[in-house]
Amino acid sequence: MSAVLGISGGYHDAAAALVVDGVVVAALQEERLSRVKNDPSPPLRAARACLSIGGIAAPDRVVFYENPYARIERVLVSLLRGFPRTFRQFPRAIGAQLGSKLWILDDLAEGLGVPRAKVTFVAHHEAHAASAFYASPYPRAAVLTVDGVGEEAATAIWHGTEQGLREVAHVDYPCSLGLLYAAFTAYLGFAVNEGEYKVMGLAAWGSPRRREELAKVVQLSSDGGYELDLSYFAFHTDTELGFSSKLEALLGPRRPAERPWDLETAEDRAYADVAASLQALLEDALLGLARTARKRTEEECLCLAGGVALNAVANARIAREAGFSRVFVQPAAGDAGGALGAAILGAMKDGAPRPAPMRDAALGVAVDAGEANMLASALGFAVKRVDDRDAEVAGRLSRGEVIAFVDGRCEFGPRALGQRSILADPRAAATRERINRAVKRREPFRPFAPSALAGTELRWYDEPGDDMTRFMTTVRRAKDTTLGAVTHVDGTARLHTVDPESRFGALLSAVERESGIPVVLNTSLNGAGEPICATAADAVAFFAAHAVDALVVEDVVVTRRPS
C-alpha cells in the first residue's frame, strides 16, 4: 500500500490531501479545524485528520505544492531589482522567506513525524494542473492554470494526456491576472485573498463603462497574451497595497473598507462600475488564453485551476465561447487544491494509477450527530431525533424556515455543496435579504446559489447542467424570476446540480414532494469572517449565534425553546 500526503500552505488557504493506492481518500483545509479564515499555517491539523480518515499511521511520502527554494529566489531577486522602491518590503519579506518559508519541508517532516527524506515538492502550477486534470473525467484535455504567482509563473497552459502533463506555455510574475484582481479587490475596500468573490458579485450591479481606462492598465493581445502596466500596481514594491497612487489618479480614490455599502448612492454605483469593468477585462483575458490553449493542444476538453478559476462568471463565458465541448473546474481550484494535485503527482510517481474522476467534494471530516445532540441539550436547546430527516427538512423549508444543515463529511473547497449548508426556500427575494442581513451579516449585493436536482434544471435555467455545475463553479441564466431568492441582479445564478442518487439528492426529492420544486437556496454554513463549519461543535456554536430557525445534524433536529 502507498499513502501519499499532499500539502499546500504558507501564504493562504493551507490544506492537506491524502491519496492511498491511487484513491483520493481525504482532503481538508486547515481553516476548518483551526477556525482561522484562510489559515496559511502549515496544515498539521488537516494532515492528521486526513491520515486518521484513511487509517494511516504515517504517510509513505509527503509532497509540498511548490518549490520553496525557487519561490524564495524569485522574491529576493524581485526585491533587489526594485530597490530602493522596495525598501519597505525588505524587512517583512526577508523575515518570512528566510524564516518559516525556507524551512517548510523540515517543519513538515518534524510536525508529521516522518523522515525528512520522505518530504519532497512539485512545482506550484504543476500541482494546480494536476488537481484539475486528474480530478476531471477527461482522458485528454487542455489545462489552464491562472493565479497570483507560484515560483515564477502566474499563468500556464498545459497539455494533459495518457502520458501525463506537459507545459505548453507560461507567463511569469509580475504579469499576473490573479494579482491584478487582488489589487482591485483592495482598491474596492475588500480583503485580498478573501474578497475577490465579493468583487465578482458586485460586478453584476455595475456597467463596464471604465473599460477605456482599464485598457491603460492591462493590454491584451490577439494571441491570448496580456501585459500589465506595473506603474499602476504596488504588489512588487509595497507590503500593504497591491495598487499605486497612479491607479487612484486614473479611477478615483480607493473605497474606504469600513464604510457600509449602499448601491443606491452614486458613489458606490461608481465602484460597482469599476468592478464590472474589471470583470469584463478578466473574462476577455481568460477567453484569449483558453482559445490559445485550444489552438496549441487541439483538445476538445478544458480543465481550469488556480484561484482565478473560481470566477464562475468567467468560467461560463469560457464554456460558451472558447471552442471547447466540455470544461471542468474542481471545487477547490485555489491554493487548497494544490495539496490535492501534489498528492496525486506524488502517488503517480510512486506507480499508483490515475484517480477516478471526482464525483463529489465530501472529502473532509465527518460530523458526529451524537455530539451535536449532547452539546445542544447542554445549552438548553430543544433537541429531537427524527425517523425521516428529509421529510422534516422539506416541511420546515416549505413553511419558510431557514435551516442550518449538516450531513456526512465536510466539503473540500469554498463551496457549500450540501454537507455544510444553510438552506431556504429559493422563491421569495425577501428570503435572500433576510439571510444576508440577519444570518450571514454581509454586504447586501451578495447572491445565493440554487441547488437543483440534476435533470430538472431546464425548468428554470437556459442551459442544462454540466461538469462544472456539479461543483457550483459556473453560472446559468434564469428563464424567469420564479426563483427570486437565488437569482442575481444580472439574471444569473451559480447553479449547483445534484445527483438524484446522492443523500442531498434524496433531500431535494423530498423538497419536491412538499413544494413542487426540487430546488433549495444553498449557501455556506458560516458567519461573516468565519470558515465553513466542520464539526458538530462548530454547527451548534453557529446555531447559538445566528438567526436560523433550526439546526439539522444528520437525524438530530435542534430548535430554540419558546420564551
CATH of the domain at 227: 3.30.420.40
Q: Please identify every residue annotated as catalytic.
A: 12
Same domain, 318 and 348: no
pLDDT at residue 457 tops 90: yes
Same domain, 481 and 354: no
Which of 388, 364, 317, 378 is closest to 535 using CA atoms?
364
Total domain count, the chain? 3
Residue 91: what pLDDT?
A: 58
Which pLDDT tens digit goes with each residue over 102-134? 789 999 999 999 999 999 999 999 999 999 999
Q: What is the mean pLDDT of the chain?
A: 93
pLDDT at residue 90 tops 60: no
Which pLDDT tens digit goes with each residue over 347-369? 999 999 999 999 999 999 999 99
Q: Model confidence at 242, in pLDDT bands (50, 70, 90)?
A: confident
Give the CATH number of the domain where residue 441 resides: 3.90.870.20
CB 492 within 8 A of CB 514: no
Kindly report whether the global pTM for this prediction surpasses the value 0.85: yes
Same domain, 319 and 342: no
pLDDT at residue 432 tops 60: yes
In a domain, 27, yes or no: yes
Please tell me which residue, 173 or 467, carries the higher pLDDT value: 467
Residue 238: what pLDDT?
A: 56
H helix or E strand, kind and range, residue 164:
strand 164-172
Which of 456, 481, 480 is closest to 469 using CA atoms?
456
Same domain, 270 and 415: no
User: What is the strand order of the sheet 15-20 is part of?
Assistant: 23-29, 15-20, 3-8, 61-64, 119-121
In a domain, 145, yes or no: no
pLDDT at residue 300 tops 80: yes
H helix or E strand, kind and range, residue 523:
strand 519-524
Other beta carbons within 10 angstroms of residue 260's beta carbon come to 7
The residue whose grid cell reads 447572491 is 447
Q: Model confidence at 235, in pLDDT bands (50, 70, 90)?
A: confident
In a domain, 143, yes or no: no
In a domain, 312, yes or no: yes
In a domain, 146, yes or no: no
What SS3 class is residue 478? strand
Same domain, 423 and 506: yes
Same domain, 128 and 181: no
Distance CA 6, CA 447 (A): 33
Q: Which three cell numbers stand for residue 520?
A: 433549495
- What domain range is 270 assigned to? 177-329
Query: Looking at 59-68, 221-230, 399-408, which range is the least confident one?
Result: 221-230
Q: Which three cell numbers stand for residue 290?
A: 483558453
Residue 98: what pLDDT?
A: 55
pLDDT at residue 37 tops 90: yes
In a domain, 150, yes or no: no
Residue 422: what pLDDT?
A: 98
Same domain, 301 and 341: no
In a domain, 545, yes or no: yes
In a domain, 210, yes or no: yes
Same domain, 99 and 195: no
Same domain, 82 and 114: yes
Same domain, 309 and 204: yes
Q: What number of residues does the chain have?
A: 563
Same domain, 451 and 548: yes
pLDDT at residue 100 tops 70: no
Same domain, 310 and 374: no
99 CB-side CA count, 13 A: 8
Q: Model confidence at 236, in pLDDT bands (50, 70, 90)?
A: low
